Amino acid sequence: MIPTVVLPIIIGGLYAAGVYLLLDRSLTRVLLGFLLLGNATNVLILSAGGVAGLAPILPVDDLGDINDPLPQALVLTAIVITFGISAFVLAMIYRSWRLVRDEVVEDDAEDLRVATREEVDADERDPEDMPPADRGPGDGFTVEREPLLGEVKPPSDDVDLELARAEAAENESAEARAAGDPDRTPAGGRPVDREEEH
């Protein structure tokens, strides 16, 4: 009944390599790291069940001749869970590759925007100086007047603008139709982001 040092060394090595891979930005490496960590944990559970080499099968004459079956049952469950989640992560990696031709963990754009926003009092801000995304509607001074009863908003007299808008809308819908075609991926370039959020 001499405890083995092989298992702890394996567990430690797997954990170290797994953590190293998990810290990478590449998703495939993250998945590999997760698999290593999962296996390290499985071996850890297994080693919690006592000395290796005995079968967890009844009947036995002496209870010392049998391995603890419970950790093995736990490991089986853990393996199944790890397997299922790995499949899901693989699907996500593939989806990410299809969408943005990349499989890295990306930064949160909104987070960056908030973090790099200039720290100016709202009263001192000139909307003209701000990037359009930060700019509020209106000029900040004009107050909306409710249309009076019976008052009809005059139609826009900028015919060119209206036409240009209609054309743009048409192009957009045509693009959306084309994007629905699964084979259409621009060669060498980024594919159209198909289900871009509205």
Partner 1 sequence: MEDLIRVLTPLPVLLPLLGAAGALLVGRHPHTQRLLSILVLSGVLAVSVVLLVLADDQGATSVSVGGWPVPLGIVLVVDRLSALMLVVANTVTLGVLVFAVGQGMADGEETDTPLSIFHPTYLILVAGVSNAFLAGDLFNLYVGFEVLLAASYVLLTLGGTAGRIRAGITYVVVSLMSSLVFLAAIALVYAATGTVNLAQLAVRLGELPAGTQLLLQSMLLVAFGIKAAVFPLSAWLPDSYPTAPAPVTAVFAGLLTKVGVYAIIRTNTLLFPDGALDDVLMWAALATMVIGILGAVAQTDIKRMLSFTLVSHIGYMVFGIALGTAAGLAGAVFYVVHHIAIQTTLFLATGLVERRGGTTNTEKLGGLAKASPLLAILFFVPAMNLAGIPPLSGFIGKLGLIEAGVALGGAGPYVLVGGAVVTSLLTLVAVARVWGRAFWRPRAVDTADEDLEAVRPAAGTSTTTAQLQENRLPPLMVAATAGFVVVTLALTVFGGVLYGVADRAAVDLLDRTPYLESVFGLRGIR
Q: Tell me how far apart the terminal alpha carbons of the chain are, to the nearest angstrom.
A: 65
Burial of 15 (0-12, 13-18, 19+ CB in 10 A): middle
Name the segment binding partner 1 (CB under 8 A); options: 2-10, 27-35, 57-65, 174-182. 27-35
Strand partners, 104: 26
Beta-carbon neighbour count of residue 30 at 10 Å?
19
Tokens at 58, concatenated: 């009844």
**Which of 57, 60, 100, 176 is close enough to bind partner 1 by CB under 8 A?**
100
Give 66 or 89: the residue with its C-beta nearer to partner 1.
Answer: 89
CB of 179 to partner 1, least distance (A): 13
CB of 136 to partner 1, least distance (A): 5
Cis upstream peptide for 8 (omega within 30°) = no
Q: How far apart are CA 97 and CA 12, in angstroms?
A: 33
Tokens at 72, concatenated: 């093995």
CB of 159 to partner 1, least distance (A): 15
CB of 106 to partner 1, least distance (A): 5
Amino acid found at 111: D
Beta-carbon neighbour count of residue 27 at 10 Å?
19
CB of 126 to partner 1, least distance (A): 15
Give 10 or 22: the residue with its C-beta nearer to partner 1.
Answer: 22
Binding residues (CB under 8 A) for partner 1: these are 22, 27, 30, 34, 37-38, 41, 44-45, 47-49, 68, 70-71, 74, 77-78, 81, 84-85, 88-89, 92, 95-96, 99-100, 105-106, 108, 110-111, 114, 132-139, 142-145, 168, 193, 195-198
